[in-house]
Structure 1
Amino acid sequence: MVEAAPPYVRIVDDIKRRIADGELRAGDRVPSTRQLARDWDVALATAAKALARLGQQGVVVAEPRVGTVVAGPPGRSPRHPHGDPDNPSRDASHSAAHGPAHDSVHDPARDPARDAVRESGRDRARDSGRDAARDLTRDRVVRIAVEMADAEGLPALSMRGVAGRLGVATMSLYRHVGSKDDLVELMIEQVFGEFPLPDEPPHGWRARLEVAARVQWAAYRRHPWMAGITSLTRPLPSPSLLRHTEWALAAIDGHGLDPVTMMDVHILLYSHVQGIAANFELEVQARAMTGLTDDEWMRDQDEQLAAIVTSGPYPTFVDVIARMGGDFEFDFDRLFELGLRALLDGLAGIIERQPGRD
């Protein structure tokens, strides 16, 4: 049994077929992300991933203020994909000997007036591209990158994709950011700038740790890709992340904890927030790959899950599900609150223990 291709792959293959069949020609606009999402009944992220893949393969290009269009073959006029630009007399002699081709009479894409309008549009697009490059700033690059990561996930982010959204050449970005890693670090700074820690910390270690956790949770809730940017063993050299570390360590300083325990407390708190929030990004990626929401995916698994449950010794699981009415709805905010409360309650036994007590 052949496994069906992911939705975005099917979209890519369909657009390639339409180009091969002549339905779409060089310079023609391809359907927009929103139109593809409607036509194929998929998420916007899935449609965006299809267009991004076509762009990576050189099948389409983004023209500023025009949209995504079919790319022309190298060295060949985009409006004459079937002609021979190196030997135009060949086409003329063919026409004189055999008369005009049937499709040239009825195909509006070969209308000289329309070609002139499109050439004028491409000239304006090139001028707009030069203007965009002149107006480019680091702040604009970072802002667009954050928007793209929010919509499609961090793995889908590329320097080429950001340049396409900005309507500039990819190399133009490197005048403002050194690499994609540098761009991600700048994105982190921008996001935490939206969710700053208070100027004056509240009283008490517990209140301070709770504030830090809630600020991080709000940032990850708004920007799901943030939870996947760094690991515990390979932390990024980010001033904003270090400010959170400083805040947490200062909150528990002076309670008689050794330095290793202080760092462990900070890491445990950070891991709780990051661990729950990581599921937001995983869901964005899953939707992009499958075109299914989490509810739709779960419905597809109902039959298989029911077969597993009824065939094994899982009485407690079956009983709990039955008492919930057969349905469990994930609420990440509820999980975050429950885990934060339990974690702080547990840390209290460590942080508030009496000196000399084991």
Structure 2
Amino acid sequence: MDVPVSRRIVAEIAARIASGELAPGARIPSTRQLVAQYGVAMATATKVITTLREQGLVQTRPGSGTVVTPLARAGLAPPDRDRVVRAAISVADAEGLAGLSMRRLAAELGMPTMSLYRHVADKDELVLLMMDEVMAAAAPPRHLSPARDGWRTCLQAHARLQWAMYRRHPWLAQAVSFTRPLLAPRAMAHTEWAMRAIDGHGLTPGVQFRAAVMLANHVRGTAVGLEEEAQAEQETGMTDQQWLRSQRDRFATVLATGELPMLERFLTDGDQDFDLENLFEFGLQRLLDGLELIMTRG
């Protein structure tokens, strides 16, 4: 999404203030000067000045026009992009992707919101950079080789590595899309690695790609529940197992109708281990079993 022209102008002026080019007390361009310099409408120029004033960066001084406020640069050493991305990851880890906004991130960094636009165009680009950073920290396992260790061992280790990554960063599952993927180079390296792991077994590039995405989507799809699970535990004070035990009477009432015999057998069988970890592992092994059949057939 394109950043509105008023926001780009605000970000440029905020950056000049943060760098010291526009010192406290210095005049910033007037609305007429902004119209002439950027070729924008008077309404847009007025919005720029208003936004800068709301951010506490400028003030109107009688006889002097609009000037940089005395405290505008206090504590505002402009952070580099890496620091912005790391701070955004910390906020998302603690508060989820919904809790991450440019305003919230600016507060975390102790800087004006508009100054962030020196480093990222918008939240979409920020999330892309966050994904790339997290994926880089969980790079595919270099110690494994398909030729030496076998393709199944490689894919299994790779999927478990990704699962651990999602557990560390539950917001990531909400950000990843396989139908409209963000083009994060170090995220794409995971797909490349998985395709290499099954290369040489008679599969076409199309099948290799779909197999790699299938496994990654299983991990991501299961991990979508991690953030909801954590939130539910925080709100109720109970783990999933504790919550299930608290619902025994309700389950008994439903099962007493006799309309769910298979579920009744399951609940009385004794093998009731069911959580996201088990769901992930069971699904992973079944997908690898199916992939092995395709390879054998080829």
Q: Among all aligned residue pairs of Structure 1 and Structure 2, give the percentage whose two residues are the same amino acid.
A: 45
Q: How much does 1:329 deviate?
A: 5.2
2: CA distance, partners of 1:277 / 1:136: 32
Match of 2:210 in 1: 264
Q: Which amino acid aligns with 1:223?
A: H
TM-score normalised by L of structure 2: 0.67
> Could you give the per-residue CA deviations for residues 135-181 of structure 1, whole angstroms, max 9, x where no partner exists?
42222221121111111211221111111122211111111111111
Q: Could you say which structure has the greater relative contact order, defined with CA pairs below 8 angstroms and 6 or more residues apart? A: 1
1: CA distance, partners of 2:194 / 2:127: 24
- Over 3 Å counting, the alpha-carbon distance change for 1:323 and 1:159 in structure 2 is same
2: CA distance, partners of 1:198 / 1:176: 31
- Over 3 Å counting, the alpha-carbon distance change for 1:213 and 1:132 in structure 2 is farther
Residue 279 in 1 paired to residue 228 in 2? no
Whether contact under 8 Å (2:215, 2:287) holds in the other structure is yes
Residue 158 in 1 paired to residue 127 in 2? no
Residue 342 in 1 paired to residue 286 in 2? yes
2: CA distance, partners of 1:200 / 1:294: 36
The more displaced of 301-310 and 223-232 is 301-310
Match of 2:125 in 1: 182
- Over 3 Å counting, the alpha-carbon distance change for 1:350 and 1:339 in structure 2 is same
> Could you give the per-residue CA deviations for residues 181-228 of structure 1, whole angstroms, max 9, x where no partner exists?
111111112212221223454133222222321221121111111112
Mind listing any 5+ residue stretches in structure 1 that lack a counterpart?
1-125
Whether contact under 8 Å (2:163, 2:219) holds in the other structure is yes
Match of 1:210 in 2: 156
Match of 1:96 in 2: none
Q: Which amino acid aligns with 2:260?
A: Y
1: CA distance, partners of 2:122 / 2:108: 17
Residue 322 in 1 paired to residue 268 in 2? yes
Match of 2:277 in 1: 333
Moved over 6 A (4+): none
Q: How much does 1:317 deviate?
A: 1.4
Secondary structure of 1:196 counterpart: coil
Whether contact under 8 Å (2:167, 2:226) holds in the other structure is yes
Whether contact under 8 Å (1:153, 1:285) holds in the other structure is no
Secondary structure of 2:206 counterpart: helix
CA RMSD of aligned residues (A): 2.7
Mind listing any 5+ residue stretches in structure 2 that lack a counterpart?
1-69
> Could you give the per-residue CA deviations for residues 87-118 of structure 1, whole angstroms, max 9, x where no partner exists?
xxxxxxxxxxxxxxxxxxxxxxxxxxxxxxxx
Match of 2:36 in 1: none
- Over 3 Å counting, the alpha-carbon distance change for 1:341 and 1:240 in structure 2 is same
> Could you give the per-residue CA deviations for residues 30-53 of structure 1, whole angstroms, max 9, x where no partner exists?
xxxxxxxxxxxxxxxxxxxxxxxx
TM-score normalised by L of structure 1: 0.56
Whether contact under 8 Å (1:133, 1:172) holds in the other structure is no
Secondary structure of 1:130 counterpart: coil
- Over 3 Å counting, the alpha-carbon distance change for 1:147 and 1:266 in structure 2 is same
1: CA distance, partners of 2:230 / 2:107: 21
- Over 3 Å counting, the alpha-carbon distance change for 1:211 and 1:300 in structure 2 is closer
Q: How much does 1:298 deviate?
A: 4.5
- Over 3 Å counting, the alpha-carbon distance change for 1:195 and 1:171 in structure 2 is same
Match of 1:133 in 2: 76
Match of 2:171 in 1: 225
Q: Which amino acid aligns with 2:276?
A: F
Q: How much does 1:342 deviate?
A: 2.1
Q: 1:1-358 to 2 correspondence within 5 Å?
A: 130-199=73-142, 201-202=144-145, 203=147, 204-286=150-232, 290=235, 293-295=238-240, 298=244, 301-324=247-270, 328=272, 330-354=274-298
> Which protein is bigger by CA-based radius of gyration?
1
